[in-house]
Structure 1
Amino acid sequence: MNVNDKINRHDNNFDFLRLAGALLVIFFTTYGVLGAYKFDPLFRLTNGALTTGSIGVAIFFIISGYLITMSWYKRRNIPRFLWARFLRLVPALAGVALVTIFIIGPLTTHQNLWDYFTSRATWGYLSIITVFFPSYYLPDVFIHNPSNMVNAALWSLPVESTMYLIILALGVLGILYRKYFVTLFTLLILGAHLYINVHTLHTILPVISHDILDQLKLYSQMLGYPLYFMVGSIYYLNQDKIKYDKRLVLMASIVWVLSFSNYELLLLTSFICIPYIVLGIAFTSIPYINGIGSKADISYGLYIFHYPIQQTLLNFFSLDTLTLLIATLLITVPLAWMSWHLIENKALSLKNIQIKNLSVMQKLNLRKVEY
């Protein structure tokens, strides 16, 4: 059975991987909201090159790159492509915006409710529904927490959505069908990213503090996520040439872990090994994990709800890392479950409604070209 058959038959582990990615992000932000991100185990093991959160986000971007490219190949229709992306992101974002503004905000603001609800910043928070222009603050909310950001996790959504539009543009222009060109171009950009990263590090290392260096490494991770997306995309474009094998997944994992002690080498092995590990797990039959998350995909709900829940808990209680993690999951998992059943799943059921538009292939007379 090829990988397309596995996707069509849901005989894959994408749901499990998305859930794992969300849990890794929650694990990391538990340290982050306490102002203790340097105590993240992976941060310490890799000297700041990676965090558990960065691996979680990379998983999302790799999977999205693969599946969004596949979505364009199947639809080749601009309105349907955009409609599917809208339904996946926006309804649940509207849900988290309303919960945050009308429940979390009033419970945690240090303003009186009249001032809170008449503040421009309160209603400006609805901008998170646009995806591209998230607001991170509510008036006098979480002002005594280590960070007063309401939902820092939303930063990745504009980046990922921009990548959706790039795939759309490449598809409409016909470039996406020139798979060798896309592959080569992505590899060149990746090479430039790695070179600039390492060159900059060695240039500024003698003149900056360790704290600034650690911050720069975190920003470097953020710049790498679009590349993970494009690597996921070229995996789809070259699916006929890529074979997934448990032994190769294990070998890639070992090579990646062995490179932890060398920052420059780890940057390279991460882009080589992590996508293969992720997609290898996705398409390899692994006992006990196949089918996890297939009944309810709560990963997106976990991702967008967990941060304000953590901040609310810290607003009222003094918690250590483990207690905060457990309390966050006890509250966020039911919220994510409700988000899936009451909002996301119902929205996704509208994905195939009739849209009056000819396919892009018909309107623009694009031809599928293989190179």
Structure 2
Amino acid sequence: MTYNSPFDPRSNSLNAIRLILALLVVVSHSWALGGAGPEPELGGANLGTWAVFGFFGISGYLITRSRLSGHSVRQFYRARFLRLFPGFFVSLLAVAFVFAPLTKLWDPTGSFSILDQLGYILRNVLLYPPVLGQYDIGSTLSAVPFPDVWNGPLWTLFWEASCYVLIGVAASLLPRRILGPSMIATLLAAAVATFAAEHTPALPLLITRTLPMLAAFAGGAVLFLYDEKFIRRWAVPGAAGLILVSVMTNTATTLAPLPFTYLLFVLSAIIPFRQVGTRFDVSYGVYIYGWPVQQVVALIAGDSLPVWLFVALSVAGTLPLAYLSCRFIEQPALLFKNPRGPVPVRTGAR
């Protein structure tokens, strides 16, 4: 396949790309969690932000395709729930009842109660909702460089699920000829609002962090809805040029989500890693377990490790948990998304 061919949902390397993006999130957090100082940025965005652009853009494409594939609304929401929630909920249990108690081995001064553990689960059970969410479990993480936060990245899951609802409702209410322009309008509005929010210091950080994700998701939806429009010889150099401009002007959060997503799909059609993740797609597990593992590494080693070693230990500790999550939680849960039995999908949305 080349970038002049339509995206083939049965033969691509998206699973490999999503795994790379999840690992980049782990790398990105290593500076803050390992106490290594400010993280390098590219175009005004760090590695984790670029990875989230990719996640949301790919989800925008795949979720829109899923919603318009002919399945009922009930099937659509059931599949999305089973893809996100079971693995997420088990990760809450693991952090509350395994990770937090284990910290006593290295920090006897840290304390917690059963109420702290139950509060962490109950207040976060709705996918880490804003305002209501609880990041700490007693004082179990008071001795690390980035204290009192057990799983920072999970706040994005609430907004990803919100995007699922957005495209689900939009596809139910709007005809296909209106849905495309609506997603373009959403993309443009989110991009303009992102630029305005970043130049308005009084706005809450939650708004400035959420708008680029909406732009990326809408961009992915636009890519699906106008698939053939992007099959042009100038599309790849045009996308690369727009990313270059965003990097040079520090406007990546405003300009990069759509072209970055497009280039990821182009890359997925070119690189020869189609077998990665076909049996066990561990990218979601890496995303939900990376931060807790890194906090334990930081608790044990403090801020004495160089970044590369902190990354290596974090990845080594995360991948087994990601495999267990995929093999024993995520895959069994997905068996229930089709009432007539499991249907293998090569590019199931995160």
In terms of fraction of residues, the more helix-rich structure is 1
1:141 aligns with 140
| Partners of 1:312 and 1:304 in 2: CA distance | 14
Cα distance 1:175–1:96, how it changes in 2: closer, same or farther (>3 A)?
same
Deviates more, 1:104-113 or 1:267-276: 104-113
2:234 equivalent to 1:285: no
Q: Is the 8 A contact 1:170 1:176 kept in 2?
A: no
Cα distance 1:57–1:184, how it changes in 2: closer, same or farther (>3 A)?
closer
2:222 equivalent to 1:234: yes
Cα distance 1:95–1:244, how it changes in 2: closer, same or farther (>3 A)?
farther
Deviations 1:25-68 (A, max 9, x none): 0110111213546233xx1x43xx11110011111100110111
1:14 aligns with 14
TM-score by length of 2: 0.84
- The residue type equivalent to 1:186 in the other structure is T
Q: Is the 8 A contact 2:28 2:46 kept in 1?
A: yes
The higher-RCO structure (CA 8 Å, 6+ apart) is: 2
Cα distance 1:193–1:175, how it changes in 2: closer, same or farther (>3 A)?
farther
| Residue segments in structure 1 that go unaligned for 5+ positions in a row | 205-212, 356-371
- The residue type equivalent to 2:290 in the other structure is H
Deviations 1:66-104 (A, max 9, x none): 111111101442221111111111111122122212211
> Structure 1 residue aligned with 2:279, among 295, 309, 312?
295
1:273 aligns with 259
| Partners of 1:244 and 1:350 in 2: CA distance | 40
Q: Is the 8 A contact 1:132 1:161 kept in 2?
A: no
2:69 equivalent to 1:84: no
Once the two structures are superposed, the pairs formed by residues 127-166 of structure 1 within 5 Å of their partners are: 127=122, 128-133=124-129, 134-147=133-146, 148-166=148-166
Deviations 1:294-330 (A, max 9, x none): 2211000000001011101111223332221111111
> Structure 2 residue aligned with 1:257, among 240, 244, 249?
244
- The residue type equivalent to 2:145 in the other structure is P
2:50 equivalent to 1:65: no
| Partners of 2:270 and 2:160 in 1: CA distance | 28
Give the deviation of 1:279 after TM superposition. 2.0
| Partners of 1:194 and 1:126 in 2: CA distance | 32
2:297 aligns with 313
Give the deviation of 1:150 after TM superposition. 0.5
Cα distance 1:176–1:108, how it changes in 2: closer, same or farther (>3 A)?
farther
Give the deviation of 1:278 after TM superposition. 1.6
Q: How many residues align structurally?
A: 329
| Partners of 1:13 and 1:57 in 2: CA distance | 18
| Residue segments in structure 2 that go unaligned for 5+ positions in a row | 342-350
1:366 aligns with none
1:39 aligns with 39
Q: Percent identity?
A: 27
1:210 aligns with none
Larger Rg: 1
2:69 aligns with 74
Give 3-state SS (helix, strand or coil) of 2:150's partner: coil
TM-score by length of 1: 0.79
Deviations 1:90-143 (A, max 9, x none): 111122122212211112156899x7343x221022233331534311111111
Give 3-state SS (helix, strand or coil) of 2:273's partner: coil
